[in-house]
Amino acid sequence: MSFFVDRLRGMQDLFPPESLLFNEVEKIMKDSASFYGFLPIRTPILEFTELFDRSVGDSSDIVQKEMYTFKDKSDRSVTMRPEFTAGVLRAVVNNYSDCAVFPLKFMYCGPCYRYEKPQVGRFREFYQFGLEIFGGDSFLADLEAISVAYDILTKLKLKNFKLEINCIGCSKCKEKYLNAIRDFLSIKYDLLCETCKSRLNLNPLRILDCKNESCKSLVLDAPETIDFICDSCRSDFENLKESLDISKIPFAVNTRIVRGLDYYTKLVFEFVVDVGGSLLTVCGGGRYDNLSSSLGGPLMSATGLAIGMERIVKLINDQGIDLCIENGRKIFVCYLDDESRSFAVDLVFKMRKFGVKADYDIVGRGLKSQLRYADKMGYKFVSVLGRDEVRSGSVNVKDMSTGVVEKFDINDIGDLIRNIKTR
């Protein structure tokens, strides 16, 4: 008989070893970002709907189809965050913009929510790791964000990933390009899919990103963003490319990258992985200098990126990458009777106090069952305490990977602890 409450479609439960892998990936990401000076920020999952309508753009699929939006008990329209950037910017404007010393460099990791069709590696509740830099006017802020992402993907040992970059220009450049795209696609209007027909006036850039094969073929010879950028945008883009070369970060210019959110300006970039001949985006980002002012805040330059955790974890599994993750279980102390049980409890708590991940039987198993449990749960060391050990004041510790047994003096626990912590 199945439990009467099932998991919601598009949500996921994570257990070891998958949850351990998620934790390790998150740790690598946070450690890398920390070395670049990024500090953690936490923002609410729930925000006023208007924040995402105005930032993400009412022409985007996210706003039109995918947001978890509802009225709260005060009859206010609220939304579970579909992405982080808008909420992080809102937090900065609310709390930091008048007194902060710029640039501000933040990192975050947590769940987002989009009501879209669940697919392999895509869920309705999904986790993002991301970075935001506020007040970095120079192209060097873009370099900084890209460098962290490159460092993360390298440390995760991902194979076949590459960086693609493009410049879509500042607001003035972008407007010229939007007009050119509208003119180009207007004569092909009848050949567009129904979704792209509605996009033509609202946000024609989204048509360039359409997955419909017919629309893909229609935009093959479309104007390119790079041909419409001003001298200032071009200079920044050239400087970024030169800096990437200096930093030994390989890249390719892809003039078809536009990103799906309305707020991007100037630089946009993606890290992609070749999966069976198709390119899978694992990290995307860019610059959004006008987002703050469009929300009623101060004019503030900004650069950011986001990495999809589920896609990264799936690639790690698919590519057979070993991140050498330990399950956190070091030593299991077995006992034979009441007297040795008390001794085992005392020994385990002493080891825990000095930083050893130790455990003991709490359900009253016999010795054989305790040993089977220790083996099944992957403990690196196992010790058995009985009357002889208690009376002699010694304990035998077995390394489960090598079978080697060593004897230690219980009354001088320091030697035992040093050996276990360093192995």
Contact 257, 169 (CB under 8 A): no
Which residue from 225, 223, 222 is spatially nearest to 169, judged by alpha carbons?
225
pLDDT of residue 1: 52
Q: Do the bridges between strand 46-48 and strand 125-134 make them parallel or antiparallel, or are there none, so unpaired?
A: unpaired
Residues lower than pLDDT 70 in the chain: 1-4, 57-64, 97-99, 259-262
Q: What's the predicted TM-score (pTM) here?
A: 0.88
Distance CA 309, CA 22 (A): 8
Q: What is the pLDDT of residue 231?
A: 94
Instruction: Tell me the two tokens of residue 252.
Output: 């390719």
Spell out the CATH class of 18-170+229-318.
Answer: alpha beta
Let me know: does 56 contact 86? Beta carbons within 8 Å: yes
Q: Which of 379, 149, 365 is nearest to 269 (CA)?
A: 149
The C-alpha atoms of residue 306 and residue 152 are separated, in whole angstroms, by 12
Where in the chain are the domains? 18-170+229-318, 331-421
CATH of domain 331-421: 3.40.50.800
Please state, in angstroms and rounded to a whole number, the distance separating the CA atoms of residues 333 and 347. 8
The pLDDT value given to residue 281: 92
For residue 98, the model assigns a pLDDT of 67
Q: Which of 300, 320, 330, 303 is nearest to 240 (CA)?
A: 303
CA atoms of 323 and 317, how far apart (whole Å): 10
